Structure 1
Amino acid sequence: MSETIAITPAAPVPQPVSSTPYQRLGGAEGVRRLVDHFYDLMDLEPQYADLRAMHPTNSEETREKLYLFLSGWLGGPDLYSPQYGHPRLRMRHFPYAIGTKERDEWMACMVQTLNEVEMDDTLRRQLHEAFAGTADWMRNKAEPGNMPAGNVVHG
């Protein structure tokens, strides 16, 4: 008869350093805090009323979709694609005319969120830069002297 022998290492195997934005934000709980704070501000702050009006009255599903998307986008588990397919952000947002005003309002809400949710300053700067680039890329409304980055625009 053969016998199974469990082999254990003499020293612990080094674990990878928490280096993804997802991990540095606090994993699933941190992403959830970020998303909830973002939508809470949108609900409560009058300066985000136009932005809020672009969203469904009940933001529960929208919050969940942003949470699922950000999980993978920040380097955590890809929770969005298995349920909804490729994110195709511009395509999914095309029904909404997004110009510089809408981009700036979205970014103001996100910047306030980044400033109020606990995280290290380096991560805050990195997320600000990443969100700013993505928000600008989402513009799809033709504006005099300020055309969006993509090919398809609202007239």
Structure 2
Amino acid sequence: MAKRELGSRVSAVVKIILFLAAIYNIYILAFAVYDVYQHMMINLLYALPLTYIMYSGSKRSVSKIPWYDYVLAITSLVVVTVLLMNFRSWFWGRLWLVTPVTTEQFIVGMFLIVLLLEAVRRVGGIFITAVASVFLVFLLLAPYIPVVGFRTTPQRVVEFLCLTP
């Protein structure tokens, strides 16, 4: 899609956030010992909301940011913050693919998958989003395909994509 023409205030805020993100990444990658999965969540924390601010959902609304893009940016900020706050217990405090996924984990994971697909559509285009969606639908329909037929559930798909390192 089209990259948005940001106003001076929004552009200044975006540049400050990107500058702080660059400083964070340089420091973490050069000097710190870090958990790579937590590092990815922190990068999602600033990258996902900025995607909705910087890229338009259609070719029409390039000059101003509509209200629903702010809602998507805030929602993505909340979803990734919930993941980060529960990082230790959700990623390392449970046995992957053994411990059942809770309702909260399932809802947060579904939001994250939908928000990431929309962000990919905005930045990468409809083709890459369609490819990712086909694989996602394949995972959900796999139990009903005769020869392939491995057992998956929506909870298991969310666990594969969002809750296992």
Relative to the length of structure 1, the TM-score reads 0.31
Structure with bigger gyration radius:
1
More helix by percentage: 2
Relative to the length of structure 2, the TM-score reads 0.30
